[in-house]
Every structure is written in C-alpha cells, then in structure tokens.
Amino acid sequence: MGEMEVENQVLMKMRFSDLNPPLSKPVLDDLDSGGFQFCTPVQANSIPLLCSNMDVAVDAATESGKTLAFVLLLVEILRRASHRPKRNQVMGIIISPTRELSSQIYHVAAPFFSTLPNYKSILLVGGFDVRMDLRKIEEEGANILVCTPGRLYDITERIEILNFKTLKVLILDEADRLLDMGFEKKINSIITRLPTQRRTGLFSATQTEVVNELARAKMRNPKKVQVLTSYKTPSTLHIQYCKCEADKKSSQLMDFLKKNTYFMTRACVDYWRFVIPKLSILENCPLIQLHGKMKQYDAPKDPKDFVHRVGRTARMGRPGKALIFLYPKEYPYVEFQKIRGIPLNKMECPNDVLDVVPLIRNVAKDCRDTMEKGLTAWQELEFGKLAMGYGLLQIPSISEVKHKSMGFIPVEDIDFSEIKYRDKSREKQIQKEMAMVDANPKPKKVKNPPSSVVLIPRRKTGHQRRIIQTKEDNEELELEYRLLKKLKRGVIDENEYDKLTGLTQPETDIQKNCTKTAPSSWVGKNKARSKDNGNKRKINGSAYKKHKKRKI
C-alpha cells in the first residue's frame, strides 16, 4: 500500500480550480456559489488520486473536509462515464454507519448530484418501512445510492432489480465505525455483488488493523493518504470538562446556559425545552429546540464517538468550543481521551450557583406534561442523583435500582392522579380514557384451572399405544427371565414361580367350593391344563434365553 503523508493545515493555498485532473465547470460553479475556493489537505490529495483511477485509503481527523472530498470525486468520475446509465443501473454507492450521517451526506451532495442530469440519486436508511424504498426504486429508478449498510443489505436480499455490474465508485465513510458497529459481514456481502473494476475510497478518522485488512482485501493497490497531526481533533477546537455531582448538574447547566448546550437524547431536549422557560432565573432567555437524534450532551457510551461529536463545533478551520460535564467517577475519562490524542482542559465549576432542583419539582407538581417528560428523559439514564436533577417526584418502579442506594430523595404525600395537564382538551381526553378503564376492568387471567374442573385426557394415537405396549411387553419378559433364573438357582420353588408369573391364580373361597363338588371330568381337564402350562413354561424358558443372548 503506497503511503502519502500530508501536513495538517486547515486550508491550503491550492484552489479547487487548480486541481489536476481539473474539476468540471458545473462543479466549480457550485463550489464558488457555496463559498468554497481553497482545498483542505484531504481534498487536495485524495480527489486527484481517485480521478486518476486509483483506490485511496484516507486517514484524517474529523471535520477535515472528507465528505466534500468523496462527493466531488464521485461526481467527477460519473461525469466522465462513457454511457448514459439505465434506470436501475447503480453507478455510485456511498455507505456510512448511521442514518443521521447518511442523511447529512445526502443533503451536502444534493447540489452536486443535480449537475448530473441523467442520474437519479436516492437515500436508503433505516427507520422507515423498507417497502417504501422498494416502491420508490421500482417507480423512479436509482443510479446513486447514499445508504447505511443494513438497509442496502436488506434491499439486495429482497429484490434483484438493482444492477451493480456497471458500478464505477464505492465510498466507505467512517470505515472504522462501520466495522466497530458489527457491519463487516453485511459489507462483505454487498461487496461480493460489485464488480472488481471499480474505484474504491475508504475514509476513516482512525486507521485500525481491521480497517487496513479491509483495505487490503477489498481494494486494488490502494494509495494511503494520511494527514499528519498530533491530535485527532481540529486544531481550532478547545475542549473543556467540568467535574460535578449528578444532582448538581442541572444547576451548573442553568449557570452555563448563557451560551449553548447539547443534550444526550431527544427526550432530554424535549424535557429541558419545556422546563427551562418556567424557571424564573431564565424566564427572559430565548430557547430554540434543536435535535437530530444525535447524542451530544453527556459522555458518549462509545468513547470513539466523542471525536465525532465535539468535532462538529470546529468545522473547516472555524474556532469551536466544547464543554462536557463529568461525574467524579468518570474522571478517568479525561486521561483516557488524552491517551487517544484528544486533550481536555479543566474548567472549574462555580460553587455559588442556585439550586434549581426545588424549582423544577415545583413545576412538575403543577404540570403533568413536565412530570411525564421528566420520566421519559429518565428512562435512558442510570444514575439516581440525576433523577433529582430532572425534578422527578418519585423514581419509576425499576427492580434493578433502589432509592436509598442511589441517593434519591422522593417527594412525600403526592397524589399523582391530582396532577393535571395544562392543555384542557388533553386532560379531558385522559379523564375519559381513565373512566372507560375503570368501567371495563380487564379480567384477571387464571393460571391454574379450578380443582372442580375435570380434565378429560386426550386419546393416544395408535403409534403412542404401540410404544406403550412394546415397553410393557419388554418389562414383562425381563421380569419372567429374572424369576426363571431364581427358579434354576433354587431361590424360589415352582409353585411360587407360577404365582409370580401369573400362570396360576390364588384360589378364592368360591373356587375352593367349586373344586370340592366338581365332577371328575372337570378335574381331568384341569390336569390337562396344568400339563399345558408346564409345556408353555419350558417353551418360554428357551425363548427367554434366546432373548437374553440377543440383548447382550
């Protein structure tokens, strides 16, 4: 793999118009209208390589211009195609790990895709019914796919309408995350459908060994473009952290809200957008509710996501600032990020901030919307003191947690049924639904039937009856064989053997009386019958021996 190292400068003196091979005029016009004149190092070195029919593996820090680089080179390669694509001929594919990132790429690339009049682009991501995507492909066609690996794999397994034989370009964005998220098998399955005569671009913030193996296996003699940098974040980004207890986090947040903040989940955004205007300390502060299903407030569950989150504040050389609140137990997170090349600077939290927890709880007591939004935001959190920070009156019933061990102080003497919605129509609807539930209670399920109920056993099938009969016959043969061995050893006598094997039945009083008065002809018959039984016993004895030998 050929390597090319590039110094990490924010912008180079090279213009897009100076690239060789040159970009087409429609693309340059779109770049000028968007205010893009100068290239970043990634763009200046990766675009000419791919446009010269070479595969590239790019290793660069986040927000270094990778997205624009592979969008431009894809458009340029497709513009130079010798033939006009048919309706379902796929010419270019861009695969990224998440639906949010795919949507972002698609909207960035849309103006440049529009310069290709004969090409139809489509966004394929999860979160929607796959049948809608299938119908759109069948009705409108698809030549450029911007997608997640899961959705593309699902579509290729369902239909064979897409033709990949003429594919020109394959782009794997955030390749390290694609593999970390477990998409390796699906990516390999997708690549097996693609022609080997294609251009492949692999873009990643970290070149791990797994990424290098993917490059060696799926690319043809790729050129490696590596941006030299001491850190994995933009040089214009200043990251700070503040250490505080979980129940003090909301108070520190109110003190910091003179600028901007980001929350971990959409539910948290909805909750704080609803609560903050009701607090007197920020009643004149304008708020805008913005979220794109991105986790950007608390420390990400995957440390690798931290670079992608904070890097968005310092795009294309612009100065950016980021602040993260850490609990005391999360302090090693700082040293861990430093080892990964991401420096964090400590910011002292002020001690004289107003405790807003009582204020939030007062809001929750008066408005059921606030209480429910707090519960929704809490469901994805794991710390008891955070519950106090969100103003919960009580913790939801979760068997894994206990109030005392979590440091949570519940509000006593609260009747939750008395907390009303401020929206009168919604409150009226809820009351109506509750009345219907009370009027028609669900019947309780009876786990075990009453003892008075007699269960009728099911009739066994012929096969089941034969199995039972065979088992009983084998057990009877085994018993008679053991008794026969005892008889030969002298352990039992012949009369006892006859009784145990059922050859003779014990006489009842009636049988004894009948024997005394029985005519001589009956006695003769009984003697003959006894003789026959003796013969049967001899025959059975030989049969038992054969049966035992065969079994051994």
CATH code of the domain covering residue 102: 3.40.50.300
Give the pLDDT band of residue 524 (cuts 50, 70, 90). Answer: very low
Domain that holds residue 516: 468-551
Q: Identify whether the C-beta of residue 89 lies closer than 8 Å to the C-beta of residue 120.
A: no
The pLDDT value given to residue 93: 95
Of the candidates 173, 30, 189, 188, the one whose C-alpha atom is nearest the C-alpha of residue 100 is 173
The pLDDT value given to residue 213: 77
One domain for residues 322 and 219? no
Q: Identify whether the C-beta of residue 59 lies closer than 8 Å to the C-beta of residue 81.
A: no
- pTM (2 d.p.): 0.52
| β-pairing verdict for 56-59 and 345-346 | unpaired
The pLDDT value given to residue 65: 81
User: Please, which residues have CB within 8 angstroms of residue 125's CB and are 6 or more apart in sequence?
Assistant: 99, 102, 103, 147, 148, 151
Half-sphere exposure of 192 (CA within 13 A, CB side): 9
One domain for residues 62 and 130? yes
Please say if the pLDDT value at position 525 is more than 50: no
Indicate the residue among 228, 253, 278 that finishes a domain: 228
Strands across the sheet containing 121-124: 2-7, 223-228, 56-59, 199-204, 169-172, 92-95, 144-147, 121-124
Q: Is 256 helix (H, G, I), strand (E, B) or coil?
A: helix
Residue 318 tokens read as: 């612009």
Indicate the residue among 184, 199, 228 that finishes a domain: 228
> To which residue do tokens 């579509």 refer?
155
Give the pLDDT band of residue 36 (cuts 50, 70, 90). Answer: confident
The pLDDT value given to residue 446: 62
Please say if the pLDDT value at position 330 is more than 50: yes
The pLDDT value given to residue 551: 44
Please say if the pLDDT value at position 243 is more than 50: yes
One domain for residues 190 and 242? no
The pLDDT value given to residue 289: 45
How many other β-carbons are positioned within 10 Å of the β-carbon of residue 523?
11
> To which residue do tokens 């950016």 refer?
320
Which tops the pLDDT comparison, 312 or 216?
Answer: 216
Give the pLDDT band of residue 292 (cuts 50, 70, 90). Answer: very low
Of the listed ranges 162-166, 435-439, 532-536, the one predicted with least confidence: 532-536
One domain for residues 44 and 151? yes
Residue 126 tokens read as: 């999860």
One domain for residues 198 and 251? no
* Residue 513 covered by a domain: yes
> To which residue do tokens 């910011």 refer?
347
> To which residue do tokens 């089941």 refer?
464
**Cα Dmax for the chain:** 135
If one counts the domains in the chain, the total is 3
One domain for residues 213 and 121? yes
Of the candidates 400, 177, 175, 390, the one whose C-alpha atom is nearest the C-alpha of residue 297 is 390
The Cα 63–Cα 74 span in angstroms is 19
Q: State what percent of residues in the chain have pLDDT above 90.
A: 11
Structure confidence by residue, pLDDT tens digits, 64-102: 788 888 999 899 889 888 788 888 899 999 999 988 889
The pLDDT value given to residue 150: 92
Q: Identify whether the C-beta of residue 186 lies closer than 8 Å to the C-beta of residue 150.
A: yes
* Residue 181 covered by a domain: yes
Which tops the pLDDT comparison, 228 or 360?
Answer: 360
**Averaged pLDDT, 483-496:** 87
* Residue 447 covered by a domain: no
* Residue 450 covered by a domain: no
The pLDDT value given to residue 73: 87
Of the candidates 296, 300, 352, the one whose C-alpha atom is nearest the C-alpha of residue 330 is 300
**CATH number of the CATH domain containing 405:** 3.40.50
Please say if the pLDDT value at position 104 is more than 80: yes
One domain for residues 205 and 242? no
Q: Which helix (H) or strand (E) holds 225?
A: strand 223-228
One domain for residues 29 and 154? yes
Structure confidence by residue, pLDDT tens digits, 395-409: 666 554 555 455 667
* Residue 441 covered by a domain: no
Indicate the residue among 228, 245, 278 that finishes a domain: 228
- Residues listed for the chain: 552
**Averaged pLDDT, 503-521:** 51
* Residue 451 covered by a domain: no
